[in-house]
Structure 1
Amino acid sequence: MHLLKNRIVISILIIICGIYMWEFWVKPITGPIYTEAVADYKHGNYIHSLELLDRAQRIDPNDAAILALAGWNHLKLGDPKTAEEPYFRRAYELAPYVEDITLGYAYAEIALGKHEQARMLLDKLRQAGVDTPDMLVAQGALYRALGRYREAAEQFQQALSRDPANELAAKNLRELLNVSGDLRNIKVEFAPLVRPAQLQVFFRAKGDFFERKAGANWEPVYFAGVTLSSALPGFYPADSAADPAMYTDWINRIGDMGANSIRVYTIMPPAFYRVLLEFNKSRGSRPLYLLQGIGCGDPPRDDMFNGTYYQQCRNNIRQVIDVIHGRGDVAAGNGHAGGVYTTDVSAWVAGFMVGDPWLSHVVTSNNLLHPDIQKYEGAYVEVPAGTATEIFLAQMVNYTAEYEEGTYNWQHPIAFINWPTLDPLRHPTESTLLEEVAIRRAQGERLPTPTGPFDDDDGVSVDPMKLHAREKFAAGYFASYNVTPYYPDFLNHDPRYLAVRDAEGSNPFLGYLQDLKAHHEGMPLVVSEFGIPSALGIAHFSPAGFDEGGKTETQQGQLLARLSRSVRDSGAAGGMIFEWVDQWFRQSWVQRDYEVPADRRVLWTSPMNPGEHFGIMAEDPHGRATHTLSGSAAEWADQKPWYTESKPGPAVPVGDRYDPSRDLKSLFMDSDEAYLYIRLTVGKLDNDNDGQPDWAQTNYLLGLGTAPQVGGLTYLPFIIPIRFPMGMSYAIQLAGPSSARIWIASTYNPFRIAQVEGIPSQTTLSSKLGWRASVSATGTFEAQISEPNRRRYSRDGRYFPPQRYERGILRYGTLTPGSPDYDTLAEWHANLQSNTIDIRIPWSLLGVTDPSSYKIVAGLERDGTVMTTDASGFYAAAFSYRPLDTARTRPIMEQGHPVSDALPDLAGPASLPVNSIKPYRWAGWSVPRYNLRLKDSYAILQKAMPSLTAPPSRAERPAEAGGVRRGAGARAGR
């Protein structure tokens, strides 16, 4: 027994000695590893810091400091879930009152939206007496996440007062207040609210126009300006550009253009209002007035009286009014910016525009849901008889006036947003879908009965004239319409509108506005949006040339000036050009389905999408400044050639003096957010010295395999058969300034022109539903056709055929101002001095649905959904050939022109080694590069604006002149 006790004691001593030896002699020390990990963290090397901490954790898995630092690294890497569990939660269990651990845990919970848990953690720290700058910053972060921006700003400001070097506090405060520079004297608190004793009205709707208070008098004013959205490339409107210097530049340029007003759709960042106020104070008699939008969005299940939606609209109204009076505390979201707003611009606000241009099915459904809502009597507006939608809008207009006067004792003119689709006029040429289906069936067409909802362009109306301003509403009420000059189709088809002319010819836009103004007689009518895009692609044709796309920047400026004059000549009280700056996030129906994934749409720009290019200021892809199609050697100086010839001269010379033009020297490739760029260098373009390339003697063909092993043909058109097993999906033919196009392989084309079933004399452009791209040895190359205007029927059965164009025709020119070939839409150019041919092809003409992530078209589902696959690279080959007159009349796949030269090099007269064709794979991106640039349209509008912004003359104000204005098409549509 005694021996047993001794053995136990000895064993315990051995264990204790072993533990001592492990802890102090054998066990690795975590201290140096942790110290190195901290240094990596401070230098932003988060991945390496985590690798070190992983080693340290294996040594000591319960060290709270190691766990916490791992959590901070994961937070910095944007992974709050991993930061929370297992790191911060476990560290907090081990050391619940260590500030650094608790703050990290709270930040992780904030990032995960667990705001109540974060509040409890911070409360425990506060109860423990922690009141450091870092604690204040964390509290500010929680307030910011909760949308309590002013309280957040106060916390960040307090943190900076104690720790002026606190970068996180400074960053947050700058973002919330949208300021730059010194933050020491920045104003965070709202000024005390003092309601003026007398009602303040600086603008009023009077008769057909507006008036502005000028001392004791009222002066007439006409609004001529631009609309402004501020989503820069890579962002959506909710993430509006916030750089104060940018707003200073923009507002100064808008003012210098001669505009006197800006329309914004929703709440802008705080810097916008601050800069606007500073500008107006400095400009004296040439200020910029603000037309402020108040959006509601689409109602759930088309019910505008849904309780949550109704209150959200009222909340939006309150927020906007607080913002323009310098007392806004707004959380970003729902398509608008946020922040703390302390700048009062109420004296410069010309009016509010409430609501949205809803689709017709929303209005129809809302009216059907609430048939008993037929009248309304508010303190400011009334509707003796109207639809549920008109009553809803009247209530929102009334609430806007009520809240502003009740809170601030101010009034501003108010309108609701409308558009031609919902106008109160009747348009005989605009049939509804069901009317058109009946007409088409009567013509013999076989088609199923369509299912709703139906978005007709003359099926339901919302009439501003049904709202009457009451005596209490001193600022008054006006009508606001967004009007495009090319759509709806009744602008293009109605003979009464087409018959209206201005100094430049037929002007259906003016005709429609005259008709619209005649209906709104005695009420100011603001055309709150009209525009023309400077895009390569076309989304809708107009018989007057007011097309949605296909216009150069010069043409854009000329048309915008003409349309601006039309707005004024119609008797309207103002017109807002859509829009100041291009917006990459905007979509157009002609491209929308082929721009996927949708969440990456803002990362690139398509010249074929007109919706992106309405701006007077361009958001150019970064390559435009470099690739001007001018032939300059400097533009490609930093690029290595993709192919170079192995020996001089064409591989198969013809033996005439034009062989140098067939000698292909090198091929370069580059790309950016909009285009694939190609440069082809030849021996000599002009060999007969006539000042032109030798197009009659030499043509060029470039094959592009954009979807290798996915879609394309194994042979190219025009030339003798040369096999490409991977498949060539596109062929670029260059045969002269007016004879260049990009063809698409029939096995890769998702569209076809088909006969209308039951009416074989009519055709339509349709999608190949259920189609899969394929590589084939049989087929042809086809023109790329677009159909901006589908076939239509008027209510009386008149047929309007579809309007199509070949979008694959390449425009000749350069991007160099002053050049005789200058064209802002140019896609290719041949330069005699450098003997180069420069090409830029929009990604959308190459089947690319997202160049930033290499997505290309692979097929269509039965429902029309575009299927995509990843592009492994573009295979390119270039050829020169002498066009034979005898072959030109044959089908393009059978012409068989002999090839003179090729890149990569030919192995024989009709042989190109496949392994010599290299795939070009560009660098993808998650952050786009771009440049802002004033378009040529700016200077044109600058010349036009002085006559547009002049106050309306007495003759234009019939109420004062003793007459009544009636447009040329007055009430013709009713």
Structure 2
Amino acid sequence: MEQKRRRPYRWVFMVVIMAIASTSLWLYLDVNQVESMEIKSGIQLKFRTNEDQLEIYQGQTWQPFFAKGINLGASLPGHFPGELPITKEDYLRWFAMIDEMGANVIRVYTIHPPAFYEALVSFNQRKEGEPLYLMQGIWSPEELLIEKQDAFLPEIRDQFQQEIRDAVGAVYGAVTLPEKKGKAGGKYRANAGPYVIGWHTGTEWDPVMVQKTNQIHKEMEPYQGTYFRASDQATAFESWIAEKVDIVAQEESKYGWQHPMTFTNWVTTDPLSHPGEPIYHEDMVSVDPTHIEPIHWDAGYFASYHVYPYYPDLFRYDTGLKTVKNDTGEIDTYKAYLRKLKAYHQGMPVMVTEFGVPASWGNAHFGELGRDQGGHTEQRQGEIDAQLMREIHSEGYAGGILFVWQDEWFKKTWNTMKFELPEDRRSLWLNVLTNEKLFGVLGMHASKEDVLTIDGDKSDWEKLAVEEKQKLDVKVHGFEEIWMTHDEGYVYVLAQLEKAFDPLSQSLYVGVDTLPGGNKKAAELGSMTLDEGLETLILLGQEESEIRIASNYDFHTRLYGKRYGMLPLKEEELRDNSGVFVPWKLAVGLEMEPPDSKTYHPKEEVIVGNLRRGTTAWDHPDYNSLAAWETKDKIVELRIPWMLLGFTDPSSLQVMSYQDEGRDFVTETTRGIRILPWISDKAGDGPGTVEQAGNPYPLTRLPIYSWEPWEEVGYHERKKQSYPLIQKVFQELTVPATEEIKP
């Protein structure tokens, strides 16, 4: 009797098990319908290397394949990558847009959550034609390598080898990874292995670490593995990489597949000599892919490099690269570098797996032909990215993978990171001065950018809810109404004037106060004196429009003058209420001199406070993603990036302090923003109309624009103007270049 009562439960249990098994089989069996070639019992190939090309098995034959790819990050606005916020629905939506753009490869740097692989398998199963292929990266213990300076330490070896096993298991849907802070985990059951185009092992290598590893283990015998080995010419670090690539191959072979192998490399550790590079550590050591060889790996092996047109400085200073002209007849050092790099790797495919420029207000490095690390509109971003992709193709490379698909708010850049405080809140706001945040082809725009358009029309302001905007009771001659609002990226101001603003004959000023201190007097204020100082001053006009910063508040001078001694200091400008406003600048190159560099390398800087007139209406022919202001009739509309107003973290109302005693900057919590606008006739000598005879103007009586701190962000996705330009070049480049490359 007891046995009979248990049978229904066993039957239900078996049904559940069969259902789960059927689902698993569906994921495995359907994906294995990908056409492949069996090279030996139980071993399949879909991609292989053949001399200097990559090939795909298609239509029962091997055909040349050119990789047109996009790198995919792991974060969303408001999150750091380790929080793993991207859902399966996000991935599916993005895959459709990436496919529409014409890409055939998605590269990820590390293990993504199970939802990524499930979405890739699901998308490809439903897609007509060729699938989206996956280049899977395997993250090395980067911070530990830099800290310990010896790649062969057991703790590094064990951590990296476990990451390799986890990555291969995740791709083949055959592992359950524990939940760990900052790492993907969960049950991996979707088999994305047959969609892999290649394995991309490691991260950009610190040259000092590479050199020290080579010195410590200089007597080491070259690595000899099961599928890969190091040649007799290999350094110790190259042997270390050969071992890691071999372990990836060993792990993948367990699943009956072979795919092409590569490891991450970059210009800093390339095998070429760069006598024109001024900084020693940028050309101090090589990591040479030709010193690693496949021995029983039919899928083959290729070299891959991250090659940006602005870094290192050899792209500007190495005369050996100023020998090649591009299609427009200009000397093109990027094209020359690609040619030299390709020539070095004889008989071996080479792929550029990161390249591109950002569409950001900020700039962090100058590049030749205007290919800077930032300062580009979305349109110009697309033009440069398309140029670079065409050059990669024309120089006979096996592919190019653009950096990056989506904007990443959590990113930092060397020339703004000291001003983003507290740094653990970087993902909660969009600092458009930080170029690294804005490499994306898919824009992750701050929340009001789909509501408010800079175009000189206030109708969109009228649609904002009452609680989303604030009318300021600022009674100043020439102004009827002033409104303010904000989002994660900008502070917005709308002024309705008594009569139309004429930038040809007038200048419109907006003084901004966020904390005690600053300039109570200035040439721009004429004879007027304030009872409280201004941190920044906005000027709008026909010839120049910019935001200037009080000289004693200027982050740039305080960091590179007072702390680093790279800028001359004027004592009179370091005093409070100096009366001087200076241009808002960012460093784009540090001063270097021997022994750190071969020759003296001057400090370089760029003015970042210029305010462009134009419209942010993305569907308008004159759309400018960097537009800051516009005026029509009696309306003046303006948006200002947070950092230009002194904010280090607007989400917690933190502004840079005037306190400047230690090496690190200090912040203060502001009550909000107080503004003082006025209009001056360019023929006149100051505002005149806002001062009170004999008394300081009572700035402290003006209303403060304030807001509540935020812990969650709003944002919206939109394809940038660069998207159709990338789409066009991807559609053009259907097969590898076949023309002979001239020496």
TM-score of the superposition, structure 1-length normalised?
A: 0.69
CA deviations 1:817-862 (Å, max 9, x no partner) are: 4546421111111122xx2111111111122111111111115766
Query: Offset at 1:515?
Result: 0.9
Listed as ranges, the matches of 1:64-463 within 5 Å are 197-298=41-142, 299=145, 300-333=147-180, 335-383=182-230, 384-405=232-253, 407-433=254-280, 456-463=281-288
Match of 2:730 among 933, 945, 949: 945
* Cα distance in 2 between the residues matched to 1:466 and 1:342: 36
Deviates more, 1:909-918 or 1:624-633: 909-918
Alpha-carbon deviation of 1:798? 6.3
Instruction: Give the Cα separation in 2 of the matches to 1:874 and 1:591.
Output: 22
CA deviation digits over 1:133-156, x for unaligned, max 9?
A: xxxxxxxxxxxxxxxxxxxxxxxx
Give the Cα separation in 2 of the matches to 1:753 and 1:339: 47
Query: 1:558, 1:431 → 2: CA distance?
Result: 29
RMSD: 3.2
Say if 1:277 and 1:794 are closer, same or farther in 2 by CA, change over 3 A.
farther
Shift of 1:775: 7.8
CA displacement, residues 323-354 of structure 1 (integer Å, 9 cap, x when unaligned): 22121212354754222111112111010011
Q: Is the 8 A contact 1:747 1:779 kept in 2?
A: no
Percentage of pairs with the same residue: 31
8 Å Cα contact 1:538/1:547 also seen in 2: yes
Alignment of 1:684-695 (within 5 A): 684-685=499-500, 693-695=501-503
Indicate the residue corresponding to 1:672 in structure 2.
Answer: 487
| Structure-2 separation of matches of 1:313 and 1:756 | 42
SS at match of 2:557: strand
Letter in 2 for 1:488: P
**1:497 and 1:379 mapped to 2: Cα distance?**
40
CA drift of 1:764 comes to 4.1
Between structure 1 and structure 2, the one with the greater Rg is 1
Give the secondary structure class of the aligned counterpart of 2:89. Answer: helix
Contact 2:470 2:705 in 1 (8 A): no
TM-score, length of structure 2 as denominator length: 0.89
The secondary structure found in structure 2 opposite 1:408 is coil
Specify which structure has the higher proportion of helix.
1
Amino acid at match of 2:587: E
3-state secondary structure, aligned to 2:554: coil
Letter in 2 for 1:829: E
Closer, same or farther in 2 for the Cα pair 1:583/1:559, shift >3 Å? same
CA distance in 2, matches of 1:742, 1:283: 50
Q: Over residues 267-309 of structure 1, what are the superposed CA-to-partner deviations in whole Å (9 max), with x where a residue is unaligned?
A: 1122222222232233343321111101112225122111122
Partners of 1:365 and 1:197 in 2: how far apart?
Answer: 43
Secondary structure of 2:671's counterpart equals: coil
Task: Report which structure shows greater RCO (CA 8 Å, sep ≥6).
Answer: 2
SS at match of 2:368: coil
Q: CA deviation at 1:422?
A: 0.5
Shift of 1:641: 5.0
For residues 695-752 of structure 1, the C-alpha deviation after alignment (integer angstroms, 9 at most, x for no partner) is 243221111112x22x31122441223333332111111122x411111111211333
How many residues are matched?
A: 710
Question: SS of the counterpart of 2:481?
Answer: strand
Q: Kindly indicate whether the alpha-carbon contact (under 8 Å) linking 1:582 and 1:618 is maintained by their aligned counterparts in 2.
A: yes
- Summarize deviations over 1:931-950 as a string: whole Å, max 9, x none: 111111111111211222x1
Amino acid at match of 2:647: V
Q: Which amino acid aligns with 1:925?
A: W
Give yes or no for contact 1:487–1:540 (8 Å, CA) kept in 2.
yes
Q: Using the alignment, how far apart are the partners of 1:200 and 1:585 within structure 2?
A: 40
Q: Distance in 1 between matches of 2:20 and 2:472?
A: 55
Q: How many angstroms apart in 2 are the aligned matches of 1:190 and 1:309?
A: 34
CA gap of 1:507–1:869, structure 2 versus 1, over 3 A, is same
1:703 equivalent to 2:522? Answer no
Note if contact 2:678-2:687 (Cα within 8 Å) is conserved in structure 1.
Answer: no
Amino acid at match of 1:883: K
Q: Is the 8 A contact 2:223 2:240 kept in 1?
A: no
Cα contact 2:27–2:121 (8 A) shared by 1:
no
Corresponding letter in the other structure for 1:457: E
Kindly tell me: are residues 916 and 418 of structure 1, through their superposed partners in 2, closer, same or farther at Cα, counting changes over 3 Å? same
Tell me, in whole angstroms, the C-alpha distance in 1 between the residues paired with 2:65 and 2:450. Answer: 41
- 1:611-690 matched pairs, under 5 angstroms: 611-637=436-462, 638-639=465-466, 641-644=470-473, 651=477, 663-685=478-500
Which runs of no fewer than 5 residues in structure 2 stay unpaired?
Answer: 1-11, 33-37
Give the superposition deviation at 1:811: 1.2
Range with bigger deviation, 793-802 or 844-853: 793-802
Q: Letter of the aligned partner of 1:459 in structure 2?
A: M
Taking the aligned partners of 2:28 and 2:510, their CA distance within structure 1 comes to 67
- Residue 350 of structure 1 aligns with an amino acid whose one-letter code is I
C-alpha contact 2:309 2:368 (8 A) present in aligned 1: no
SS for the counterpart of 1:563 is helix
The equivalent of 1:538 in structure 2 is: 363
| Secondary structure of residue in 2 paired with 1:502 | coil
Cα separation, partners in 2 of 1:189 and 1:765, compared to 1, 3 Å = farther
Q: 497-506 or 540-549: which moved more? A: 497-506
Shift of 1:802: 4.3
Q: How does 1:807-818 map to 2 (within 5 A)?
A: 807-817=608-618
What is the distance in 2 between the residues matched to 1:386 and 1:861? 50
Report the alpha carbon displacement of residue 678 of structure 1 after superposing the two structures with TM. Answer: 1.1
Cα distance in structure 1, aligned partners of 2:409 and 2:20:
33
Structure-2 residue corresponding to 1:789: 589
1:823 aligns with 2:624: yes
Match of 1:561 among 367, 370, 386: 386
Q: Equivalents in 2 of 1:588, 1:413: separation in Å?
A: 33
For 1:478 and 1:552, the matched residues in 2 are separated by 34
Contact 1:536–1:608 under 8 Å retained in 2: yes
* SS of the residue 2:530 aligns to: coil
Partner of 2:3: none
Distance 1:518 1:242, change over 3 A: same
Q: Report 1:853-868 matches (<5 A).
A: 853-859=652-658, 864-868=663-667
Aligned to 1:677, the other structure's residue is in SS state: strand
Counterpart CA distance in 2 for 1:928 and 1:186 is 37
Q: 1:493/1:235 Cα in 2 relative to 1: closer, same or farther (>3 Å)?
A: same
C-alpha distance in 2 between matches for 1:544 and 1:199: 48
Looking at structure 1, the residues matched to 718 and 674 of structure 2 have their Cα atoms a distance apart, in angstroms, of 33
Aligned with residue 923 of structure 1, among 703, 708, 712: 708
Q: How far, CA to CA, are the matches of 2:325 and 2:675 in structure 1? A: 50
1:50 paired residue number: none
Q: CA deviation at 1:241?
A: 3.0
Q: More deviation in 501-510 or 855-864?
A: 855-864
1:936 match: 721
**CA, structure 1 residues 752+349, in 2 after alignment: closer, same or farther (shift >3 Å)?**
same
8 Å Cα contact 2:282-2:312 kept in structure 1: yes
1:547 aligned partner, one-letter code:
D
Q: CA deviation at 1:431?
A: 3.3
Match of 1:871 among 660, 670, 684: 670
Is the 1:188–1:340 contact (alpha carbons within 8 Å) kept by the matching residues of 2? no
> What SS does structure 1 have at the residue aligned with 2:369?
coil
Shift of 1:423: 0.6
Residues 821 and 189 of structure 1: is their aligned pair in 2 closer, same or farther, counting only changes over 3 Å? closer
